[in-house]
Structure 1
Amino acid sequence: MNSHHQTIKTYPTSLFLFCLLIPPLSATCNNVEKTVVARRKNITCIDQERDALLKFKNHIIFDECELMDLWGNPGTPDCCTWNGVSCSNQSGHIIGLNLSGAPYQGGCLVSQVLSPSLGELKFLKYLDLSSNYFYGMDIPSSIGSLVNLIHLNLSYSGFSGDIPRLLGNLTRLTSLDLSRRNDELYAQGLSAKSLNWLSRLTLLTEINLSDTDLSEATDWTQSIGSLPMLEVLQMDNCQLSTSLTSSSSLSSANLRIVSLSRNYYISSSIFQWLFNTTSNYSSGVPSLEYLDLSYNIIQGPIPDAIGNFQSLMHMDLSNNALSGSIPSTLGLSGSLGGPSRLSYLDLSNNQLEGTIPASIVNLEYLGYLDLSSNYLSGDIPCKLEIREFPHYASFVFNNLSGSIPKKLSYLGPYAFQENPNFRTDEIQGPCEKDRKDKFKLGLYVSIGLGFYTGFWAFCGTLTIKNSWRHAYFRFIDHIIDNIYVIVVVNLARFRRNFEV
């Protein structure tokens, strides 16, 4: 507890250094910097805002990490010096409040009721109450009045009930995290019957609503799609369904991370929604880097267009009902060329058929490949190689034939089991193309050596032996004379015949 308490006390400086390293928190760096400057200039906080903080503290039952231990202490009357509080260096108003607990370690603050006094912090830009125990209470509606908020994190804190639509008033918000752990102590989590309020938050770049109940929010594709600045979308285990309409298209050209796993009701129309929007419209280069659609009911083939995402590094489509073949576009250069950056590919537990495309050997950065539990047939491409860490691959429970490729022999037979026609005790020899390349190389080398040897044997002899050299040149002169005579005689004969 003491070490954690010490960490909290050095919050302004440590957060300032930390946020410089994390680009998503760059909007907060200015706030922390202003806080440090404010303390140097001895700017004190506003009395009304100090009282609001004390009212908030009075509703906290227990402070495990002593986050607010010095709040209201006679020795620290200036609330700008309190742990977790950041103030403006110009006005002294509170602009940041970080009371986050320790994730996965039980949290810090315990309360059954949060004071509405938070709504009095009208200049607040950064609010983090994550990883605490708030006993399944509703999100205070007073937060919806903090119209200057840029960052709001209420994750892992036990909030439940309907997400207040008043959050739609926070039009300056760039980051919103209302996620929860599925194993939290509270049976009921957050829910929403509509996400229409999100469409007003046009500056949002990051959204995390994972483990909230959005089973009735059938407008989520339209609401999320209307956010032009969106870069990160995390909505795992939200009971989402895809019911696309003509207005269901994404306006963001900057999506980097999309995680929609464990929703179970998402269909193949999700590809249409994604592929219409994840390109940078100005350059045509796809921006998507991380895609997780695992544990849904996506049916049908994997679109060939998936190979156009040259920035994609992580793709997990496992545990769906995908059918057809693996797109041959995987590993091929996109419309603007350049190698694929894909390093993680999981297509396991689907209904994929056909052979493993030869183009997959072009995935230069591949470190994780799972094609298990499908209906794949044929040989594994001879030149397939897992080049990067963690060097994992699995082909079990398929209909593959042949033997283990030499470059995958380190995986052992277990990675290829449950393929009836596969020889797990045999390692392939050199690839056919390698054999042809070696033959061509040997042929060219032989021709080159033969020419080199013959040329210098002949020229060297003429150089050393004068009699041979003279005889050779006499022979050449004789040949040239004969050719000249033959040409002249035949030319004269031709002319006479022509004149006659």
Structure 2
Amino acid sequence: MPKLEELYISENHLNGTIPPSICNMQNLTILSLRSNHFSGEFPHTWSSWSQITIVDAAYNNLSGNIPTSMGILSSLEILKLNNNNFGDKIPDSLHNCYVLKSIDLGGNKLSGSIPPWIGGSNASMLCMLRLRSNFFTGHIPRQLCNLGYLHILDLSHNNFSGEIPQEIGGLTLCGTLNLSRNHLTGNIPSIVGNMHGLETLDLSNNRLSGQIPQTLESLTFLSHLNLANNNLVGRIPLGSQLQTFTSSIYMGNPSLCGFPLPTKCPADDALTITNAKRSNEDGNDEMWFYVSMVLGFIIGFWGVCGTLLVKKSWRYAYFRFLEDTKDKVTLAIELKVTRLQRKLCHV
């Protein structure tokens, strides 16, 4: 079939080996063999004239190494070989596939470290990198943080060690970051709060320590978070969406405290007592304020009115004073009005 451009035979019950003659289909652009029962090695005889852009052989029983000849496929954009039995390392020859946008090699038996070309200029277009459930070792390479278009980074269930690189905050478009089930140590970098597009953050089942950074509350799109089974300490940040998740995502951190965990922080009891004392003091102050107002009114009222009621001579003098004052005010007003009328007449 020399003119065939797309071959879809996925999700069947096909078995046996994949014939090497597939590599001779010069016009083939899409090869989808996923979810079958193919076994043996993947074809090794790819050539430079191939126009293939998508290779999907996921969910089979393929074994052996990922062919180095696949590095010849300069037009390859999507490579999915996940959930097979591929071993050894990721071939360095794949750095020649400079338009790669998606690499999924999860669920195999790959080992070694992540090659330096992933994160280099030849792989700058990567949007998805899934290497989960393999046997990769070493540190998480800092060059991965150069992948400015990366939306999904899944390195979970491997043997990575060391600290999470600070540069990871540069992955501002990343929506899924899964580093769970490794041997990572150190603190959760506060710069993760700069990854404003994060919807999923899974750092569970590592050896991370220190406090949960307050900056995580700025991840407003975060819908899935898991920090369980680490060595995190201190209070879960107050007043943030980190307290809206279920307590299970914090379990396995014996020194972590605060809501939604049932474990109270050491300062909580002291804070409760202080607030209670302050509340009592405020209540007492308020009560004495009203008492003093009432007493002041009573003393002032009866100090004047009571005296007038008891002493007749004072009462007459008081009302005579009011009467005289009223007459003086009335006279002053009449004089002012008369003078004003005279001035208007002269005008």
TM-score by length of 1: 0.50
Change (3 A) 1:402 1:373: closer
Matches within 5 A, 1:8-47: none
Find the partner of 2:206 among 331, 350, 355.
350
- Work out the CA distance in 2 between the residues paired with 1:170 and 1:391: 54
User: Relative contact order: is structure 1 or structure 2 higher (C-alpha 8 Å, sep ≥ 6)?
Assistant: 2
Moved over 3 A (4+): 167-170, 243-250, 390-393, 399-402
Which residue type is aligned with residue 395 of structure 1? Y
Q: Hey, what does 1:316 align to over in structure 2?
A: 178
Instruction: Count matched residues.
Output: 270
Find the partner of 1:363 among 219, 231, 234.
219
Q: Hey, what does 1:128 align to over in structure 2?
A: 8
Matches within 5 A, 1:111-260: 121-135=1-15, 137-168=16-47, 171-180=50-59, 189-216=61-88, 218=89, 220-243=90-113, 250=120, 251-260=122-131
Matches within 5 A, 1:259-278: 259-263=130-134, 265-272=135-142, 274-275=144-145, 277-278=146-147
Q: Hey, what does 1:443 align to over in structure 2?
A: none
**2:114/2:141 contact within 8 Å kept:** no
- Work out the CA distance in 1 between the residues paired with 2:248 and 2:167: 24
Which residue type is aligned with residue 227 of structure 2? L
**1:261/1:294 contact within 8 Å kept:** yes
Q: Secondary structure at the match of 1:331?
A: helix
Q: Hey, what does 1:399 align to over in structure 2?
A: 254
Change (3 A) 1:221 1:153: same
**2:46/2:69 contact within 8 Å kept:** yes
* CA radius of gyration, larger in: 2
Change (3 A) 1:199 1:392: farther
**2:234/2:257 contact within 8 Å kept:** yes
Q: Secondary structure at the match of 1:132?
A: coil
Change (3 A) 1:160 1:392: farther
**1:147/1:169 contact within 8 Å kept:** no
Which residue type is aligned with residue 143 of structure 1? I
- CA displacement 1:108-160 (0-9 Å, x = unmatched): xxxxxxxxxxxxx111110011111223x110122111111111001112111
Matches within 5 A, 1:296-445: 296-332=158-194, 340-385=196-241, 394-404=249-259, 416=261, 422=265
Gaps of 5+ in 1: 1-120, 182-188, 279-285, 333-338, 410-415, 430-466, 468-500
**1:341/1:363 contact within 8 Å kept:** yes
Which residue type is aligned with residue 54 of structure 2? S
**1:403/1:422 contact within 8 Å kept:** yes
Q: Secondary structure at the match of 1:298?
A: strand
CA RMSD of aligned residues (A): 2.8
**1:234/1:259 contact within 8 Å kept:** yes
- Work out the CA distance in 1 between the residues paired with 2:141 and 2:175: 17
Change (3 A) 1:168 1:273: farther
Kindly, what percent of the aligned residue pairs are identical?
28
Gaps of 5+ in 2: 273-331, 333-347
Once the 2 structures are TM-superposed, how far is the Cα of residue 353 of structure 1 from its aligned partner? 0.4
Q: Secondary structure at the match of 2:26?
A: coil
**1:130/1:155 contact within 8 Å kept:** yes
Q: Secondary structure at the match of 2:169?
A: helix
Q: Hey, what does 1:292 align to over in structure 2?
A: 154
Q: Secondary structure at the match of 2:191?
A: coil
Change (3 A) 1:274 1:242: farther
Once the 2 structures are TM-superposed, how far is the Cα of residue 247 of structure 1 from its aligned partner? 6.1
- Work out the CA distance in 1 between the residues paired with 2:132 and 2:209: 23
- Work out the CA distance in 2 between the residues paired with 1:167 and 1:326: 43
Q: Secondary structure at the match of 1:142?
A: helix
- CA displacement 1:345-393 (0-9 Å, x = unmatched): 11111100000011111111111111111110011111220599x9897
Which residue type is aligned with residue 403 of structure 1? G
- Work out the CA distance in 2 between the residues paired with 1:329 and 1:255: 22
Is the strand fraction higher in 1 or 2? 2
- Work out the CA distance in 1 between the residues paired with 2:246 and 2:50: 45
Which residue type is aligned with residue 236 of structure 2? I
- Work out the CA distance in 2 between the residues paired with 1:391 and 1:170: 54
Q: Secondary structure at the match of 2:258?
A: strand
- CA displacement 1:54-99 (0-9 Å, x = unmatched): xxxxxxxxxxxxxxxxxxxxxxxxxxxxxxxxxxxxxxxxxxxxxx
TM-score by length of 2: 0.70
**1:367/1:391 contact within 8 Å kept:** no
Which residue type is aligned with residue 178 of structure 1? A
